[in-house]
Structures are given as C-alpha cells and as structure tokens.
Structure 1
Amino acid sequence: MDFAAIERAAVEGRFRPLEGAFNPGLDRAGVWWLRFALRASDTGDGEWWLAVDAHPLTDSVDALVPVRGADGRIVDAWLRSGTEVPVANRYMPVSLFVFRMDVPLDEEQVVYIRIAGTRSIRAQVDLWRLPDLVGYIVSVTTILSMLLGAAALLGVAAMIMGAWLRERTLVLLGINTSFMTALQILITGLALQLFAGFSHLIIYSVHALVLYLTAGSMALLIMDVFRGFADMPWIRRFMWTFLAFSTVGAALTPFGFYQPLLSILLVLSIIFSLLTILAAYRWMRAGEPSGLWYFIGLSLSGFVLMAYSGRVLGLLPLTSLSAWIFPALVLAQIVAIFVGVIVAIQAHQRTRQALEQDLLAASRRNEKMLEVAVEARTHALRQALREQRNLLSMVSHEFRTPLSTIGAAVDVIRHGTSTLAPMDTRELAKIGRATRRLGGLIDTFLAEEWLDRASLELRVRHVDLHALLTEIARDGGIESERDIQLNGPEQLRVAVDPLLLRVAVGNIVSNALKYSSGPVTLAFGATEEAVEIRVEDKGSGVDPAERETIFERYYRSDAHASLPGAGLGLFIVARIASLHGGTVRVEDAVGGGSVFIMVLPAARESEVSA
C-alpha cells in the first residue's frame, strides 16, 4: 500500500481511534500505520522531537513529519529508521526511534508513522522538547544500568559462591542471571552501539540465541531447585520438554528459524511459570524450610514472566511499567533463590545450636571430654573462618570490575551529555561517590586480609632481583603508559620472599606514578650485609613532618586527599620490610621530588626455603 492509499484511508475514516500504547504483539500483518494531528497554540510552536518507543530490533520505523525548509516554509519530510538504518545514522544513537519536526503556530499538521516487521510490534509515541528528551533518556539509561549492574553483581557472586561451596544451584543461578542480564541489554537497546557495524540478521541471531539460552538455563535452574521434581513426574516431563525445545531453538537460530518458534516458546514460558508456582506451593505445604520464600519469590517472578510473555504476544497492553518488567524478573528470581539459601543456612544454624547444647550437656558429665570437644570445635570454627574470609576475598576481587564499569558509565554520562538536568547531575554524582566509596572499602579489606596472612608465612628463597624488578617496572609502565627507568646489575641473586617484595616495590612504584607526572627511576644494588632498592620520582615531594606518619595504617596526606586510596599502600611496604628485618624511608631527591629507599638485610642460609 503506497502513501496515497494511506491518505485515502484516512479520508474514508478507516483509521480507528487508539487509546494508550500500540501493541499488536507477534502480528502477521507486516505493516502498521499510525496517524495523528497536531496544532500548536501559545508557546507550543517551534522544534519538537517525536519519540517512538518501539522494539529496538523493529525492521522499519518511518515517519512523515513537518519540517521547515530552506525557504522557511513548512513541508512534509519522510524520515526513515529501524534496524535497516544503522544506529550511528539516526538523529540520536539511542534505542528510541527519534524524529525532529517543526510545528508552526495555529496550523494543523498531520503526522504519519509506519511500523513494519515480522517480529514483535509495539509502539508508544511521545512528543518532547529536546532538553526534556535528553533528560529522559539519561534517566532511563541510568536506572536500567543500575538494575542490570546489580543483577550482574549478584550473578557473579552466585557463581563464585556456588563454585567455592560446591553448590550447583548457586552456579546455575549465576549462569541464568548472566543470560537474563544479557537478554535485557539486547531488549532495551543498550547494546545497539556494540552491533553498529553488523547487519540486522546477525543482531537477530544473537538476540534469539541469548533468548533460548536464557530459557534453557532457567529450566535447569528450576529443576535443580526442586531436586528434579522426583515426586512430580508430570512436571519433570514438561521441564525436560521445555529444555529440549530451548536447545533445539538455539541450534536452529543460525539457520533463521527464530521467528516461527518464538510464539511457541512464549506459550511454553507461561505454562512453565504456572508449573513453577505450583511446585513452590507444594514445597511450602510439605514443610520445606525454604518453601515459603521460594513460593513468594518464584510466584512474583512467574507472574512477571507471564506478563512479559503476554505483552510480547499482544495479549496485554503496554503500560508505563512495561520497560521494567524484565529487570524486575531478573532481580525477583535472584532474590527468591538467595532467600531460600538464607533460610536453609538458618535451619543449619539451628541444627548446629542444638548440637552445641548436647555437647554442653555431655561436658558436664566429663570434664576431659569437654576440653577435647572444645578444642575440636575451636579448630573447626577457625577453619570455617578461614574459608569464609577466603570466600569474601574472592567475591571482593570479582566486585572490582563491575564497580569500575559502573564508575566509567557514570563518567561517560556526566561528561558526554551537556544538557543534564540539575537533579540528574546530583543523582549521578551520588552514584559516583557511592561507587568510589565501595571500591575503597573493598581495597581496604583485601589489603588487610592479605597482609595478615602474609605475616604468618614469610617464605624466603633466592631470586633474580634484576628479573623481578624488570617485571615490576614493565607492568607499571604498561598500566600508566609511562616509561620507568631501571638501574642495577643484571646478575644479582638475593634471598627474599619474592611475592612480598613484589607487592612492596609495586606499591612504591604505583605511588610514584600516582603522585608525579615526570620520570620514575627504579634502582637497586647490594652489599654483603644488605640489599638496597630505591624508587625516585620528580613529584612535589613529601613534607618532612609527614615522613614518618605516611607509613602508618590508614594515613592519608591532606595534600592528596582528593586522590583515590585507602592509606594502606605504604603501611604494607613498611610491614613487608619489617618482616624481612629491614627498613624503609623517604628522602628528598636531587633536583626535586622524592626517593623511597628500602633496605633489606642479607638472609642467613637457615632462613632460605629449600
């Protein structure tokens, strides 16, 4: 149907009124036309932006809008968008389909929107002034990034904890959460920039593959939670069917069979949700410790999944909350499993308390047995504490990269957008401060934990000092993109703990790079009595009044309070030097700057590990 036929349809009254958003779902009509009239009054004329909130992977989203020509007159312009138009060539490189138009005062203008594709069709049309549109996009992107960042962090934590505790449910939860997060990034259009150079067929294939992998991992997770549905064979058969269908769909995706199977997958997802809620209810009635919380959490996630499937199928209308349905599903599922695990831990703790009471009663009958039992219990608790601290250290390490990603995203939004509203600027600043504060807390925990362990396990052996310091200089130069000059004999073997010495010298070099912009020199030498390592920079130097206090725990100089850090780097250096029986000090460098000097005594043969 050409545009002239569409105009005739409008004249004949074949366009029907539409209330709210447009959501036919998986409709086979192929092409839909939306029409509305505008008339600007008072201050409503001028530049407006037409934003069409459609599926980011819609084939074609075009608009006929009024624009002001070069001669100043208003003319109709046909503007095209959709997956056939690269994101970089759109008015704004965002997931919304945006069109600029000019609306004159007191003149009615008719706008046509054409939406075409064989995928899920939906549209919510809004008119914006440019500052308000930019503010809305920034706000939505920020909130979605926070939700997805939280889901990603919880997913990583679940996989790490599951691997550490050998708990398969947590590992499957982490995997499913990762797929859900990736799917949401595709659905909301946040990943379109990543695929800007690829054809729309590749984008469709990636989206379909992630969709089927999400469904399959969800089936595995639910079957593991409910122990394979051993007492519910009919549900078990459906779950295996759902898993097999998801596997077949993933295998057929590269061959273009995504669209015919999607509606079947959505219907199966609705049945899957109902059966999951039923299984959770039966567990709750059976008196399982985690049954109540699984029922509450999985009921919430099941209803959200059914609502999402109904929206995509066109059975439910779009609402202002539609954009948040899937993120809520991700977080609800994670919370459900985690709460169930917490309840199981509480049940274990109650069992342990009962055992402790029995142990106390037995100890009253035999004092010697009490001493033996207390000693064994203390050893077990210490072992558990060590394992717990190991786990927390691993989780803290894994939190570093997502926190850095969140911080970088905040910086990009703050510095890449010149029209942020004051409230958005304040909220972004809060996010940035919270991210840096959490990162500092993680750094502090890791440093203290590691140092406490190292102080108990000093392992001295002969090492090639030149090779060790060469690696430190190379790593520091790569990270800072600066040259570090190394001076010292090429053949020098010393007796030290290589791991601790690497950390100590690395901290000094890192400080020199952080607090100076000029050259950094790493020099070393040895005598029969001691080994001396010097790190020299051309920075602002160290105040003589602070040359002792900078090696104290948590000390931060007021002159550098704005720079990141926890005040533990030089404290760790001093502790490592002390563990070796040596010292560390700071002096003024010739020509300005500072030079940190670490002196370690030569180790006796009895101190060197075999």
Structure 2
Amino acid sequence: MSEHLNNGQPVVLVVDDTASNLGPVVDFLEGKDLMVSVARDGAEALRRAELVRPDIILLDVMMPGMDGFETCRRLKANPVTREIPVIFMTSLSRTEDKTGGFRLGAVDYITKPLQMEELLARVQTHLKLRRLQKVLQAQNARLQEEVRSREAAQNALVEMINSVRNTSNAIAHDLRTPLTELRSRMEALIHSLKEKVDVDALERLEGALSDIDRVIRIFNALLRLAEIDAGVRRSGFTTSDVAEIVSEVVDFYQPLAELRGIVLSINGPSNLPVMADPLLIAQAIGNVIDNALKFARTRVQITLTDREDAVHVAVADDGPGISDAEKSKVTDRFYRGDASRGTPGVGLGLSLVKAVATLHRGTLSLKDESPGLLISFAIRK
C-alpha cells in the first residue's frame, strides 16, 4: 500500500473498520494499478480525505461511532471533499437505506459480501465519470474566464469611447466661452491702443491675460490627467512622506485660510512613508484643500491616519456639503455642481484627485459631515 500520490495513478480511499474486509479490497485494487489509502473509522476518513484528496471513496456503512451515512454527510458538507465520489459498501439491502445514501450524495452502492470484479467495474466507471467531470469543469472555467475577459475588454472599450466623447464635448463647451471672451477683449483692446494707452486699456489687458491663464490651466490639467491615465507618471514614484507633503500644502494655503477667516488645521502622525509621486500627491491634496476652503464657513480639518495597508488623508469642512445625487458626479471631468457655479474653476479638481488616487492603487470617497463634507483620499502602501 502506497501514499506517494504524485505519479498520476487514480487514488482510492477505502474506509472499513474490519481488517478482514479491508485487506482483500486493498490488495485487489493495488493489483489493478490503483493507489490505495485506508481509514479505519469515520473520523479518520474525514481527515485522510482532506489530506489525500482521493479520486473516489469506498465507504463502509456499518461502523462503530460515526457510521458511513454520517461520514458521507460530513464529506459532502466540506468544500474540500464534497466533489469526491462516494460508493457505499454495505450488507444493508432495504430500499430506504439505499435511497437515504443517495440523498446524502453517494453515487453508488456495492453489496457485501463484495464481488471483486463488480467492485472494480464500478470503481473504474466512476473514475472515468470523475475524469470527465474534471475536464468539463476545467473547460467551463476557461470559457467563463474568456467570457469575463471579453466582457471586461468590451466594457473598457465602451467606457473609453464614452470618456473620449464626453471629454471632447466638455472641452469644446468649456473652452468656447473663455476663448470668445478673449477675442472680444483683445479686439476692443486693439482699438483702444490705436488711440492711446490708458488705465482702462491696461485693466482690460489684465482681464485678457486672466482668460489666457484659465485656458492654460485647463490644458495643463488635461495633460496631467492624460499622463496619469496612461501610467506615464509611475516613473516619478519614490519613497515619500505623506505627512510632510500635507504639512507643506497646509502651510501654502494657510494665508488664504486666514484671509477668509477659516481655521485650517492638521492632526495625525508626523511620519507616513509610502511609494508615491510626491508632486502628484501634493497637487491632489492641494486640490482637496482648495475645494474645502471655497465652501467652508469657519473651519477645514485635515486628519492623517495609517490603517489597512494605506495612508488616509481626510479633509473635512463645515460648508453646505453636496447632495447624494451629486456625490457620484463630482469626480467626473468638467462636472461642476450647483454650489460651484459662482466659484472659480473648470471642474477638473476632484477628477484629478481621483486619477491620482487610482494611480496609487488608492481610493477617493465623499460623505456628509453634518454640516459640511468629508473627502477622504487613500494611498496604498
């Protein structure tokens, strides 16, 4: 009897508490080029079935303690062993005993005293069925994986097409107004400069420059998003301290917060190292803080935490917040909610933050702060 189960031979687990029954079955099956493992009771059968993973189990029904029926029930309840075919060996001949065994998951019965050739024929039949079942399962798994891959590719293609279309439409819409205004201002300025250079003309020139700056900001943001989407920015990854980056960003925005009468504060660990692009992280955090300062009434609180294999930067304000209907839209490119209509911007701030989070295998989430909004930016380690 051998338990070296790595040579490709079918493995049969024989379970019987009587040595005089066990010995002849084992000798006969091994003589037919089958590998055999044995168990003397139900508890040992459960352990050995999980360890050996036999191709088929020959199970005696009448055993002391845990009988064959209960052993079969537990085998079928275990995800590791439930697919292994079970053939009962029994002297029970009542129909209700056999049907009860089939209900528990057995595939066949062999009546004692055993006829060895019949035993071999039934074992070989169910081994063939088991092999065919495994082949079908493998083919089905491959087909399902192929279907999932094709669906994923199709969904990605549809999403890309929609993204390109929506972005193109948004660019055309958002750039048309500032460019039209720029042309009108420049035209008026040219006429004025033909006569004289005065303060009014210079003010209009500054307005035109502001329009130009707005267009440049839009294009810069789009280029950064394109680089992130293409994964180009991964080359800038290095060991970075998120706590230090956030602290520097807070220092940059502190004068603006004081000017608006808003308390801008930060708390959390002073050292949070991750592999990241520090410039993108700084810009993403800056965008979140800038967004909070636009709507906050009295305070903006930044909280740093290190949990679940990620560094979390949470920015909370006490402003009006946003509706649940808008939460799923504010990270869309060029989307501007009702509360943003009167504030500067082009609708790329949070979409850039989401793209940076995705690049760092992280997440961006928004939830009500009552009052206000809590934006949480996670960076995977």
Q: State TM-score, norm by structure 2.
A: 0.43
